[in-house]
Structure 1
Amino acid sequence: MFWWLYYADSPSASYEDLPLVMWLQGGPGGSGTGFGNFEEIGPLDRDLQPRKTSWLQTASLLFVDNPVGTGFSYVDQPDVYARDVATVASDMLVLLRSFFTERNEFQNVPFYIFSESYGGKMAAAISMELTKAVTQGSVKCSFAGVALGDSWISPIESVLTWGPYLYSTSLLDDLGLKEVNKAAEAVRKAVEEQQFQKATRLWSVAESVIEQNTNGVNFYNILTKEPDEELSSLAEDDFLSLLARRHVRPLHRQSLVQLMNGAIRDKLGLIPHNVTWGGQAQEVFSSMAGDFMRPVVDVVDQLLAAGVNVSVYNGQLDLIVDTMGQELWVNGLDWPGLPTYKNQRWTPLDDPAAPGMTGAFYKSYKNFSFYWILKAGHMIPSDQGAMALQMLKMVTQQA
């Protein structure tokens, strides 16, 4: 399992006085050391130019390519790909146990897990196992909280709100809304019957219905079109390949593939000659297909009950994990603090990049908080870097 660590680079504080943030990408099969690092929050962008809104200025960053087979992580035999989040969490605990033993300077530094998309589903499961391991003393770290960004916590809540969300933003007409809702209901039925592989296939059908009715809306940001840049090729011989094309391939754009397998690979000097960055991404996605539509809302409830700080953040323009769906599963939590949380009014936040403009809203009660990030899609740090950085500081109690 491949990981990449940056020590915090702050002019006003040493890394010992700043938190350590582990970033988990989505997909599953998306590479944090590639996409999260060079497209979102790392010190350099894809053109290797300094990023003004890098999270490194306020935290040390640990990028991990997980599950195994993602990015520069690899497997030697196909039967060891993870097939569910329980295995993903178990694998990650092996890495974290080793990391905090070898890098014991981070044992007393506040440790946060930040995530995006399917990474949030994995982050929830990992956080629960890490909490148990810290209590048992098998992992020595100062786990301080988890942040779930545009996360696949309750997939069916997202699917059921796709139609209403697109309709409310004038991207569906009445007939289109009816077709999308019908497709979503088929997914709901499969989930209720615990037929999760079937639900994943029907999820793909629902996405196709949306594409046909919206002139190919971008699932990651409804106001943008997919870039014209050529994407690395994936087979399209079945619905899993189609889903990988939609949701893994955008994390492996040709220019990023060339960067990671070229200059970065050469600079690292330790990647096995037979391993290609992202070469096993589709296999990772396919192996997780049976677990894809399973919710992990119960795990979030367990985290809150255990006293873990949980933050949810979501982009206003995200379709694939729309905010309406996120609010549905949050409002369905068994957490005793929910009624008080719901009765609070949210607080507006100024956009650091546009003084005088509202950049976000947030609401917090006890160990739970929610950030509504405006003018951002699925990849919030890419769309609203300054606002994402401000949110990071608030979650890690630096603002």
Structure 2
Amino acid sequence: MEHLKVFTGLLLFIAISPGSPGTVPAKESWGYVDVREGAHMFWWLYYANDATRSYEELPLVMWLQGGPGGSGCGFGNFEEIGPLDRDLAPRNTTWIKAASVLFVDNPVGTGYSYTDSEEALTTDVAMIAADMMVLLKTFFSGKAEFQSIPFYIFSESYGGKMAAAIALELTKAIEQRAVKCNFAGVALGDSWISPTDSVLTWGPYLYSTSLLDDLGLVEVSRAAKAVQLAVEQGQFQRATELWSITESVVEENTNGVNFYNILTPDPDEKVKLTAETGYLAALKRRHVQPLNRRSLSQLMNGIIRKKLGVIPKNVTWGGQAGEVFTSMEGDFMKPVVDIVDQLLAAGVNVTVYNGQLDLIVDTIGQELWVKKLNWAGLPVFSQERWTALQDPAAPEQTGAFYKAYKNFSFYWILKAGHMIPSDQGAMALKMLRMVTQQE
């Protein structure tokens, strides 16, 4: 396997707003790892940048985006938690204030990561986890200074499903001494852990928020039960198709509710399910394209690409996201609740966090699969009362609730949709500090 290619420098971007040549200094590095023959994964590391503590005193967080096919190096970095926003202006709630952050374009074919052929794309989370073990082994071998630093995996959406599988394989790899790192826990944000539980609760959630009437509830519930039946019969590719059809039923009955935040208008043109477009075209438009908005695409294929200096000429950022989703469609609706159970049984610290206004992975559905866990501590956890957390951006208001027992915790983030750091940045940063035991 090829050794770790590392490129290091200072983050010195000129802000795009007129007359504001400000800079944000932060040590960073990036590079590629060949995880398989014909499969090349890109990573981008920002060292923690805190005025009172060095990066050695702060944890390392790996961020995994959803999709599958969403770019963490692009969307997670410039839209959510990186040091700069999409306009290259400093982000006040960047996570590098509390941790070093490792973005990975995962799985291969996503963002700047690429494959030499479509046959090298991943088809399930087991394959994704195997690729990530190669990257992590190479990363920690090449950056030995991080081997003893507490390492956490944070995730969003389908990234949570990948994170669960990766965390389990990493636990095994550490035991076998194949990877040397101080793995401290995994955090599953608005995560696609139990797809059926999410889809089945869309109707009740929308109905309770006055976004569905009685007839709409019947139609959405009927479509959702068709998804459930396909999953129960092991017809997972068909279940993915029915999932997209259910989304169309939701759109038709809600006048186009935004799946990522029910209180925010969806700026993207709606795509109705037709014979001409097909369900894959519809779901890519709803879920892949929003991560590749024109301004972000221009940034990633322009100044950022030039700065990095290592992106092959034949690789266009974001251009392969649709192919990644298509390759994974047979795995998309498979649950991984059993993997979370295995993590808890192994003593891994597991955190679940969810946005109050998220529809695609609504909190009701998250709570349902949590109640199905076989974890021995569940009865006690279920009887615990949650604790209110003040919103750092508005101290007089409640920003979230949380409760924890032993190695499991749950955060209910208020006034946030699917992309919690985008909607409630200060609250997300506070949660990060709590999960990583800084508060």
Instruction: State the TM-score bracket (shorter-chain normalisation).
Output: over 0.9
Q: CA distance change for structure 1 residues 228 and 293 in 2, over 3 Å: closer, same or farther?
A: closer
Q: After TM superposition, give the deviation of residue 319 of structure 1 in Å.
A: 0.1
- Name the counterpart of 2:114: 74
Deviations 1:197-228 (A, max 9, x none): 11000001100000000000000000001236
Q: After TM superposition, give the deviation of residue 241 of structure 1 in Å.
A: 2.2
Distance (whole Å) between structure 2 residues aligned to residue 81 and residue 268 of structure 1: 24
Report which stretch shifted further, 358-367 or 221-230: 221-230
Distance (whole Å) between structure 1 residues aligned to residue 261 and residue 375 of structure 2: 31
Q: After TM superposition, give the deviation of residue 359 of structure 1 in Å.
A: 0.2
Q: After TM superposition, give the deviation of residue 61 of structure 1 in Å.
A: 0.4
Distance (whole Å) between structure 1 residues aligned to residue 213 and residue 124 of structure 2: 37
2:164 is paired with a residue whose SS is helix
Distance (whole Å) between structure 1 residues aligned to residue 348 and residue 57 of structure 2: 21
1:290 is paired with a residue whose SS is coil
- Name the counterpart of 1:293: 333
Matches within 5 A, 1:27-38: 27-38=67-78
Q: 1:279 aligns with which of 319, 330, 345?
A: 319
Distance (whole Å) between structure 1 residues aligned to residue 284 and residue 268 of structure 2: 18
1:7 matched to 2:47? The reply is: yes
Partners of 2:256 and 2:270 within 8 A in 1: no
- Name the counterpart of 1:392: 432
Q: After TM superposition, give the deviation of residue 174 of structure 1 in Å.
A: 0.4
Q: After TM superposition, give the deviation of residue 377 of structure 1 in Å.
A: 0.1
- Name the counterpart of 1:197: 237
- Name the counterpart of 1:237: 277
- Name the counterpart of 2:153: 113
Distance (whole Å) between structure 2 residues aligned to residue 160 and residue 274 of structure 1: 42
2:53 is paired with a residue whose SS is coil
Partners of 1:359 and 1:373 within 8 A in 2: yes
- Name the counterpart of 1:383: 423
- Name the counterpart of 2:18: none
Which runs of at least 4 in structure 1 moved beyond 2 Å after TM superposition?
A: 227-231
1:222 matched to 2:256? The reply is: no
5+ long unaligned stretches in structure 1: none
- Name the counterpart of 1:335: 375
Please tell me the residue identity of whatever aligns with 1:70.
T
**How many corresponding residue pairs?**
396
Q: After TM superposition, give the deviation of residue 279 of structure 1 in Å.
A: 1.3
Partners of 1:229 and 1:254 within 8 A in 2: no
Distance (whole Å) between structure 2 residues aligned to residue 306 and residue 36 of structure 1: 29
- Name the counterpart of 1:144: 184
Please tell me the residue identity of whatever aligns with 1:315.
G
Q: After TM superposition, give the deviation of residue 240 of structure 1 in Å.
A: 1.7
- Name the counterpart of 1:370: 410
Please tell me the residue identity of whatever aligns with 1:283.
E
- Name the counterpart of 1:52: 92
Please tell me the residue identity of whatever aligns with 2:251.
E
Please tell me the residue identity of whatever aligns with 1:77.
S
Deviations 1:256-304 (A, max 9, x none): 0000000100111110011100111100000000000000000000000
Distance (whole Å) between structure 2 residues aligned to residue 336 and residue 269 of structure 1: 50
Matched-pair identity in %: 75
1:23 is paired with a residue whose SS is strand
Partners of 1:230 and 1:253 within 8 A in 2: no
Deviations 1:148-169 (A, max 9, x none): 0000000000000000000000
- Name the counterpart of 2:130: 90
Distance (whole Å) between structure 2 residues aligned to residue 306 and residue 364 of structure 1: 17
- Name the counterpart of 2:163: 123
Distance (whole Å) between structure 2 residues aligned to residue 394 and residue 186 of structure 1: 40
Distance (whole Å) between structure 2 residues aligned to residue 122 and residue 329 of structure 1: 17
Partners of 1:19 and 1:59 within 8 A in 2: yes
1:164 matched to 2:204? The reply is: yes
Q: After TM superposition, give the deviation of residue 245 of structure 1 in Å.
A: 1.2
Distance (whole Å) between structure 1 residues aligned to residue 73 and residue 82 of structure 2: 9
Distance (whole Å) between structure 1 residues aligned to residue 65 and residue 197 of structure 2: 21
Q: 1:345 aligns with which of 382, 385, 388?
A: 385
1:22 matched to 2:62? The reply is: yes
Distance (whole Å) between structure 1 residues aligned to residue 280 and residue 260 of structure 2: 19
1:13 is paired with a residue whose SS is coil
1:359 matched to 2:420? The reply is: no
TM-score (norm 1): 0.98
- Name the counterpart of 2:14: none
Q: After TM superposition, give the deviation of residue 356 of structure 1 in Å.
A: 1.0
Partners of 1:3 and 1:33 within 8 A in 2: yes
Q: CA RMSD in A?
A: 1.3
Distance (whole Å) between structure 1 residues aligned to residue 106 and residue 245 of structure 2: 27
Distance (whole Å) between structure 2 residues aligned to residue 239 and residue 229 of structure 1: 16
Q: After TM superposition, give the deviation of residue 244 of structure 1 in Å.
A: 1.3
Distance (whole Å) between structure 1 residues aligned to residue 194 and residue 331 of structure 2: 12
Please tell me the residue identity of whatever aligns with 1:190.
A
Q: CA distance change for structure 1 residues 387 and 88 in 2, over 3 Å: closer, same or farther?
A: same
- Name the counterpart of 1:39: 79
- Name the counterpart of 2:20: none
Distance (whole Å) between structure 2 residues aligned to residue 230 and residue 398 of structure 1: 43
Deviations 1:98-133 (A, max 9, x none): 000000100000000000000000000000000000
Partners of 1:230 and 1:254 within 8 A in 2: no
Distance (whole Å) between structure 1 residues aligned to residue 68 and residue 92 of structure 2: 28
1:180 matched to 2:220? The reply is: yes
Q: After TM superposition, give the deviation of residue 243 of structure 1 in Å.
A: 1.1
Distance (whole Å) between structure 2 residues aligned to residue 173 and residue 38 of structure 1: 38
Distance (whole Å) between structure 2 residues aligned to residue 354 and residue 8 of structure 1: 25
Distance (whole Å) between structure 1 residues aligned to residue 115 and residue 268 of structure 2: 32
Q: CA distance change for structure 1 residues 330 and 230 in 2, over 3 Å: closer, same or farther?
A: closer
Please tell me the residue identity of whatever aligns with 1:307.
G
